[in-house]
Chains A and B, each alone.
Chain A
Amino acid sequence: MSNVIPETQVIDRRTIDAVLAGDQAAWDLVVKRFDPLVWAAVRAYGLSAADAADAMQGAWLRLVENLHTIHDPGRIGAWLFTTARREASLLRRRNQGERLVADPVEPGGADEHAPPDPALAVLAADEGRRLWQTVETMHEPCRSLLRLMAASPDAGVHQLAGRLGMPAGSYGPTRGRCLDRLRSMLTVQETTA
């Protein structure tokens, strides 16, 4: 598995000061650092590429409008991840038929008061690798299902179910059970580590 978040690419106070001073190159660094994270966050909601792009743009626009509230550069990733998830969740609700002409917004500052998102603990590259090592020890159909899910982000349920040899109606519930199982295995690792 590739290391998609180079740990050396740290966004520090100096970078943020440059961003605040209007330095586009410094902003581009921030985007480069967190782009894969924000994209993964929104794509996990089963959004089309166009909707995912929309949700992602919302997260970046919110960061632009809240730049002056950043006190701890170490929390930008957490804030972006949480904000992107929120936008994606709203879009999915909309796509599922809820009427939200303009989405409700409750933008907050990009500061350390935002509650930490539990997912952030596993966002470090090492943890991602460990997660996949755990997946590789899972029984079928979970191992194949999770591999396929990661490898085919644009595939529909029918396609995924077909490739796994299961009825389309079984894919969602099976995926849910596999994710539950993965969570349990991680918890066991946690308590025995």
Chain B
Amino acid sequence: MMRPSPTLDDESLIAVLRLASGQDPVPGHVSAAARAAFALRLPGAVAARPVVVPAPAGVRSAEQSCLLRFDAGALTVDLEVGSSDGLVDLAGQISPWPGAGSWVEVRTPCLTESRELSQAGQFAVTGLPPGWFSVVCHHRDHPPVATSWTRIRP
């Protein structure tokens, strides 16, 4: 068996001590959420990975919104994240426009919102709960494209 390494950081040591003492059981709702996460799997989806976006000049104050970009090779998902009343608003752009009959789903662990894409490839969803979300773009004759799960807290 391997022996502990001196490179163990404090958090690892604390985790191992707590795990072995068994005095911090996982709350039932947390385990339930982990089991429920399986329903969000999307076999065959193409992953859109986050890429760094240079902050463009002239957009609204960075304190009010932020821009995220996800790249899936043939398709890019741009998101502007805003918030109001503690809820999250998303305005998105799929480029290039995937064509007629394409739509997006904005998924969170507790709800999914579907939107048709405008001819310009745009969509918007407001009032999402803060937390984890993923945007899935469905387009005809292609596998869906899904952004990596991203956590947003206003």
Whether A163 is near chain B, meaning CB under 8 Å from some CB there, is no
Pairwise interchain contact B3-A189, C-beta atoms closer than 8 A: yes
Does more than half of chain A's interface fall in helix, strand or loop, or is it mixed?
helix
Q: Which residues on A sit within 8 Å (CB–CB) of B25?
A: 36
Residues of chain A at the chain B interface (Cβ within 8 Å): 1-2, 4-5, 19-20, 22, 24, 27-28, 31-32, 35-41, 43-45, 49, 52-54, 56-58, 60-65, 67-68, 85, 87-89, 94, 101-107, 117-119, 121-129, 131-132, 135, 146, 149-151, 153, 175-176, 179, 182-184, 186-187, 189-190, 193
Pairwise interchain contact A153-B33, C-beta atoms closer than 8 A: no
Nearest opposing residue in chain A for B63, CB measure: A99
The proximity string for B residues 1-26 relative to A, scoring 1 for CB distances below 8 Å and 0 otherwise, is: 11111111111111111111111111
Pairwise interchain contact A121-B34, C-beta atoms closer than 8 A: no
Q: Which residues on B sit within 8 Å (CB–CB) of A61?
A: 37, 40, 109, 132, 134, 149
Q: Name the contact of A135 in the complex, choosing from B17, B27, B68, B81 (C-beta under 8 A).
A: B17
Q: Name the contact of B4 in the complex, choosing from A2, A32, A64, A122 (C-beta under 8 A).
A: A122
Pairwise interchain contact A4-B19, C-beta atoms closer than 8 A: yes
Q: Which residues on A sit within 8 Å (CB–CB) of B23?
A: 150-151, 153
B135 to chain A, nearest CB (A): 12
Pairwise interchain contact A121-B4, C-beta atoms closer than 8 A: yes
Q: Name the contact of A150 in the complex, choosing from B3, B11, B21, B146 (C-beta under 8 A).
A: B21
Q: List 24 A-B contacts (CB under 8 A).
A: A24-B38, A28-B35, A36-B19, A39-B30, A41-B11, A43-B15, A43-B18, A52-B30, A56-B33, A57-B34, A64-B38, A101-B81, A102-B150, A117-B12, A119-B15, A119-B16, A122-B4, A122-B12, A124-B1, A127-B20, A128-B19, A179-B14, A184-B6, A186-B3
